[in-house]
Amino acid sequence: MKKISLLSVAALLVLGLVGLSFKNAPKAMVSLTATLNGASEKPNPTPSTATGTFEGELNTTTRVLSYTVTYQGFTPTMGHLHKITKADGTGGVDVAFKSVTSPITGTTAALAQSKIDSMMNGFYYVNLHSAAYPAGEIRGNIKKK
Tell whether 60 is covered by a domain: yes
- Say whether 4 sits in a helix, a strand or coil: helix
Distances (CA, A) of 131 to 99, 102, 128: 16, 17, 11
Tell whether 3 is covered by a domain: no
Asked if 97 contacts 106 with a C-beta cutoff of 8 angstroms, the reply is yes
User: pLDDT: is 66 or 17 the higher one?
Assistant: 66
Tell whether 9 is covered by a domain: no
Q: Which pLDDT value is given to residue 8?
A: 53
Q: Range of 139's domain?
A: 27-144
Q: Which pLDDT value is given to residue 13?
A: 45
Cβ-proximal residues to 137 (8 Å cutoff; 6+ apart), any chain: 38, 41, 46, 48, 50, 74, 76, 128, 129, 130
Q: Is residue 2 predicted with pLDDT exceeding 80?
A: no
Tell whether 12 is covered by a domain: no
Q: Which pLDDT value is given to residue 118?
A: 96
How many domains are there within the chain?
1
Tell whether 96 is covered by a domain: yes
Domain of residue 35, CATH code: 2.60.40.200
